[in-house]
Structure 1
Amino acid sequence: MSAQILRGGTVVNVDGQRRADVVVDGDRIVDVVASGVDVAGATDIDVSGCVVMPGLVDIQVHFREPGGTEAEDISSGAAGAARGGMTAVVMMPNTTPAIDRVEVVRDVRAAAAGAPVDVHTSSCLSVDRQGERLVDFAALYAEGVRVFTDDGDVLADAGLMRQALEATLALPGMVVSQHCEDPSLVAGGAINEGAVSAALGVGGRPREAEEVIVARDVALARLTGGRYHVLHLSTSLALAHVRRAKRDGARVTCEVTPQHLVLTDADVERLGTNGKMNPPLRTHVDVAALRQGLVAGDVDAVATDHAPHPPAAKARDLATAPPGMLGVETAVSVVWTHLVSRGLMSPSRAVEVLSASPARIAGLEGHGQPVAPGSPANICVLDPTETWRVEPATMASKSLNSPFAGDTLTGRVRLTMRRGVIQHQLG
């Protein structure tokens, strides 16, 4: 393959931005040169007016394989991720069978061979996500797993959680991730507990259910010195505990989803079951706090919690429909529309939370690296001014449950390159 040069764009890294052309040869970025400089023998790719940034990294996706491929499989999920500018993702382990042993990890890896993005998998914290016995951390770590979580369920046993956090001390790069809702407080709940749940006549999931678990786990992280990551943080209450833990030097990180940065429980009235997820959409107070925390650095990353469900499943009533929303194709555009385009977040900070920081959290070497000579050629090219309408039927996913269906977003991925090979390109 001859060298390629991305011409006419603005290179954006976590430390700033500048007009420049990017030269790729093989699987590496070999130079970043002044715009218009001639590069002999290179194939030009016109990205005029676009932002050229590191490939995006999503550390919480549900691609439903094995066991739920009527909703999504690795092939369709990865195709959507590439369309969304992603070059790496981390699958959650709540599949059938659960990803809780080496053999299943190997099966997932085999299924992901040839995917347009690097598909990594997490493992369960407990065997079959039952919360009774921890998995074999050492064996799974040796197989390459770095993220351990019972996502979809909280590990409620504090003693087991302490042991899991202690395990991170002996396994460099291992992180314990937690879905933080106390099960005794959210049983029977469909959406955020409050005026909207009362008006709709459905059970609620109180904000305090998240705070209780985050407070407990942060205390255990302090006690053990272990690495702890909060999945899809949703409340200002829990964020206060994370902020305090960071200030005290605990090894604590957290992420937020695009939907929790934009939507509230009031939106459930118009969205119906497409507005149902766990943890649920919260209040305006929470949205404001999460946005502020993301910009300020208290929130480390954006992750989608991409959770496809077949239309028939989402067609059930609000109380019984499964929770979850699509996210991989729209994530960067939602962040760009609601934060970057409005001047609330810099493009460089967007690169940090969508690429560099999630790659660090999950230990994904080769991803989240700056667009600079010597880096792997994992690149997302975004047109920051193009507007587009979200039409789930035209997306790569097998499912349709996007809360942004029909919305017009600003900022569209024009090209995704993984290790020097174009995996997605708009005409």
Structure 2
Amino acid sequence: MADYAVIDTAEGLAAASEALAGGHGPVAVDVERASGFRYSQRAYLIQVFRRGAGIFLFDPPPIGDFAALQAAIGEEEWILHAASQDLPSLRELDLVPRVIFDTELASRMLGHDRVGLGAVVEDTLGITLAKAHSASDWSTRPLPQSWLDYAAKDVEHLVDVRDALVDELEEQGKTQFAREEFAAVLERAPKAVREDPWRRLSGLHTVRGRRGLAVARSLWQAREAYAQEQDIAPGRLVPDRSLIAAVLADPKSKQELAALKDFSGRASRSQLDRWWAAIEAGRAETELPPDRVPSDTLPPPRAWVDRNPDADARLKAARPVVEAIAEQLGMPTENLLTPEMLRRVAWSPPGEDAESVAGALATLGARQWQIAHTAQQIAQAFVESHQPPAERSEPPS
């Protein structure tokens, strides 16, 4: 096991950045967070490897300003595995690539059965990686040497993996597909913040009445504020099920809340005043939340036959067609076209000709290669959905 040092000073960053600038070829980048332990999704370790430069491990909190690293590698191709997970944490530090290669996404498009980093390294290079610390608390300081060795190996082989996947993409005629997918990942806007994020409380469906919802909302808000203040994952303070248990139990006093067996968690008793104040605030709330909020979510497909039978027929006709095209291309159906895109076009198509379907898919965010492979076939399936089964054509083979 190699002995790795973590860079945690501006001077160390400057020296490493200079070395990386002097390397050659694309740059492998990985991020370790403390998901499930901390409130934030900030990076607690950044690993970078480049041929001719070596491996560098950076400790983001004490460094703070990563302008030197961005200047050194910002114009190069960055290789990441599951880039959509790491890009938000990197952007928080103003580390933004111009172009990326996503080894997980490339593996999906190539039809690999296993797409985790360890599996992809093993399948392409025949090297086995241990994944012992993937769920560790990376905010731990100092980081154990075994963790650093694990983290370094996450980038050590990425350039070789990328080269192998580049060849495979070329062999399968998917190079342009991959470029469009990588660009889409890089350009994708951050998810909009939900208007009522508290409604994602697990078990909220068991709460009846607007007053109960107000108490649930108040408890969620109190936990969220404390979690952010302490930088601890909310569920580690008081789990969702405990908040819901408190709402359903409807305790008459702080003592009753404290005695509630299902109200548990590391902060359930130490912050009892906080939770009781939240319950009282929810009970006193004058602006009660509605039982349901408007949503553009489509009904589940099983309900379509009654809610929108024409859409049901369109979806049932188009789904096997898209699945057949994906099988032809040797990739999962969802990488050819997400089920949500197909459902939305089937539910309310602007027209049943290829041009209209193509326009609708583009509006929903489909890439040009996806549209080119599916729009005509989907349009044909929509038209045939109105015809008797005997007159329909077979899916492409």
- Using the size of structure 2 for normalisation, the TM-score is 0.22
Structure number with higher helix proportion? 2
More relative contact order in 1 or in 2 (CA 8 Å, sep 6+)?
Answer: 1
Return the structure number with greater strand share: 1
TM-score, length-scaled by structure 1 = 0.21
Q: Which of the two has higher C-alpha Rg?
A: 2
